[in-house]
């Protein structure tokens, strides 16, 4: 069994208080510590990502509640000047909205099991934020109604989401659903003035993310977000019977693809220039996503980074946007 503290190639030192968990073997059984060149195996505190360390390289195993895990190389990260692009998370980093989306998950499960007074427990919260809708729902199904399916739950999820999002756009939705993070406007305007590209990256489906972005920009009086941001990447459109959908439920954070697409496709930044890019996240899944995409993650306070055991994956930790500007 791996003993902390330990130095993991391409990641660095993992201290005993980092919240990461030593493992004897990967949960899929493919790698065992001390065999076939494996030096150590550690998992994030929430067990979503497992890191397999060899003598001079490390790979990451991203688990999947829906049965499609994947392995990725873990690249070294650092910040080179000048910073050319900032990749920003939406929920929890740019906008305070986690409570709203957790409420939608709760409503969906309440409808699924036909118990209007159903409430999630405190212990559920780390598992119903930061990942894909389907993974949030699958977690709840596994715990509360294993005889139901995620497909059944998604029907109720989109019913509640469409109703509540339309109400917000109409001006009579849930009070305080989407509140811009303090200092966001000043931060964005400073990036613009410095000619640093900005991409907004969310695991949220377009149907839920776009009204949230619009609402925040209306509050900030920043105009059209499509004109302001250099790229906006969401998890796409939901796959539903009778409609065309896009990939997003099996490849969200902590997989690297949303952040990788934002930088390479959205902003046109070559992988070789990745050290001139930073990512800002408040969730453990987001931190892993940035890190696996090859960028330097800046951990933003207020989310579940400590609870998920991903603090050691951040190059810096901040409480305010002004601190991010100081790093640039």
Q: Which two tokens stand for residue 35?
A: 């065999």
Residue 209 covered by a domain = yes
In contact, 120 and 140? CB cutoff 8 Å: yes
- Final residue before a domain boundary, out of 169, 204, 222: 169
For 20, the token pair is: 């990461």
Residue 1 covered by a domain: no
The whole-number pLDDT of residue 66 equals 86
Q: What is the pLDDT of residues 213-272, one digit of tens each?
A: 988 898 899 999 999 999 999 999 888 788 888 888 889 999 999 999 999 999 999 999
- 157 and 183 co-located in one domain: no
Q: What is the dihedral of CA 140, 141, 145, 147, to 10 degrees?
A: 180
Q: What is the DSSP letter of 189?
A: H
Question: Dihedral sign, CA of 22, 23, 27, 31?
Answer: positive
Domain CATH number, residue 228: 3.40.50.1000
Domain count, the chain: 3
Residue-level pLDDT at 207: 83
pLDDT at residue 57, rounded to an integer: 98
For the record, the structure tokens of 246 come out as: 């896009």
| Residues 220 and 226: beta-carbon distance below 8 Å | no
* pLDDT < 50 regions, the chain: none
Model's pTM, two decimal places?
A: 0.87
Maximum pairwise Cα distance, the chain: 60
Of the candidates 110, 136, 169, which is a domain's last residue?
A: 169
The verdict on 103 and 240 lying in the same domain is: no
Q: Residue 55 is part of which domain span?
A: 6-73
Q: What local confidence, expressed as pLDDT, does residue 138 receive?
A: 95
Pair (183, 256) in one structural domain:
yes
Q: What pLDDT is recorded for position 178?
A: 86
Cα–Cα distances in angstroms (integers) from residue 243 to residues 153, 184, 237, 238, in the given order: 18, 36, 9, 8
Alpha helices in 145-236 (DSSP H): 150-169, 184-193, 206-220, 225-228
Q: Which helix (H) or strand (E) holds 200?
A: strand 197-201
User: Could you say which DSSP state residue 28 is in?
Assistant: T
One domain, residues 200 and 301: yes
The verdict on residue 78 lying in a domain is no
| Token pair listed for 14 | 């993992």
């Amino acid at each position: 069994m791996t003993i902390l503290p330990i130095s993991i190639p391409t990641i660095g030192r993992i201290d005993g208080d980092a919240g990461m968990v030593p493992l004897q073997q990967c949960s899929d059984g493919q790698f065992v510590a001390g065999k076939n060149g494996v030096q150590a195996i550690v998992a994030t505190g929430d067990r979503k990502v497992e890191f397999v360390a060899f003598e001079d390289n490390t790979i990451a195993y991203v688990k999947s509640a829906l049965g499609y895990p994947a392995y990725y190389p873990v690249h070294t990260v650092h910040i080179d000047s000048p910073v050319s692009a900032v990749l920003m998370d939406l929920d929890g980093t740019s906008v305070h909205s986690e409570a709203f989306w957790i409420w939608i998950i709760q409503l969906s499960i309440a409808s699924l099991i036909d118990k209007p007074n159903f409430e999630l427990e405190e212990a559920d919260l780390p598992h119903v934020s930061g990942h894909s809708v389907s993974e949030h729902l699958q977690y709840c199904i596994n715990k509360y109604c294993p005889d139901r399916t995620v497909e059944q739950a998604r029907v109720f999820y989109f019913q509640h989401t469409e109703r509540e999002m339309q109400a917000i756009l109409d001006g009579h939705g849930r009070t305080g659903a989407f509140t811009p993070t303090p200092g966001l406007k000043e931060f964005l305007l400073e990036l613009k003035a410095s000619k640093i590209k900005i991409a907004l990256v969310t695991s949220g489906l377009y149907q839920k993310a776009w009204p949230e972005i619009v609402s925040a920009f209306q509050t900030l009086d920043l105009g059209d977000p499509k004109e302001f941001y250099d790229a906006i990447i969401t998890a796409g459109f939901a796959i539903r019977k009778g409609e065309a959908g896009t990939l997003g439920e099996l490849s969200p954070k902590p997989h690297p693809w949303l952040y990788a697409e934002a930088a390479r496709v959205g902003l046109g930044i070559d992988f070789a220039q990745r050290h001139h890019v930073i990512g800002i996240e408040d969730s453990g899944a987001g931190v892993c996503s940035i890190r696996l995409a090859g960028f330097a993650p800046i951990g933003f306070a207020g989310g579940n980074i400590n609870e998920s055991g991903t603090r050691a994956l951040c190059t810096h930790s901040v409480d305010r946007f002004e601190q991010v500007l100081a790093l640039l």
